[in-house]
Amino acid sequence: MISCIFRSINAFLLVYLCILVSKALVCTTLKYVWQSKPGQDEPWYNEKTQREKDTNLVRSHLSNWLLAKQSELHRELNKQCASLSIKKLKQEMYFGDVMK
């Protein structure tokens, strides 16, 4: 009686394991097929528009330029190296004001 229960539980777990492995294989295959096409580096469910990609690129370049200018200005005024807070600058760039 008990061995029959163990066999049925083992059979269930084996079938469940096969389902999980096959699902992982299918999902991984679909992911690499989708991303193999040029310009599709994002997952299909999180695809960014060209405008969003450009916006992120502009923000990145602008923050780098602002860091360089702030460092330059600080050195000119104080004749010493500047300590920059990149976290605060990024918060200003994305949220408009520094979150405290």
- pLDDT digit string, tens, across residues 70-86: 877 777 777 655 556 66
Alpha carbon distance 28, 15 (integer Å): 20
In one-letter notation, the amino acid at residue 76 is E
How much is the pLDDT for 99? 46
**Range ranked top by mean pLDDT from 3-12, 42-51, 52-61, 82-91:** 3-12
Band of residue 88 on the pLDDT scale cut at 50, 70, 90:
low
Closest residue by Cα to residue 100 from 80, 84, 85, 82: 85
Which spans in 1-100 are helix H? 2-35, 50-78, 86-95
Please indicate whether residue 68 or residue 15 has the higher confidence score (pLDDT): 15
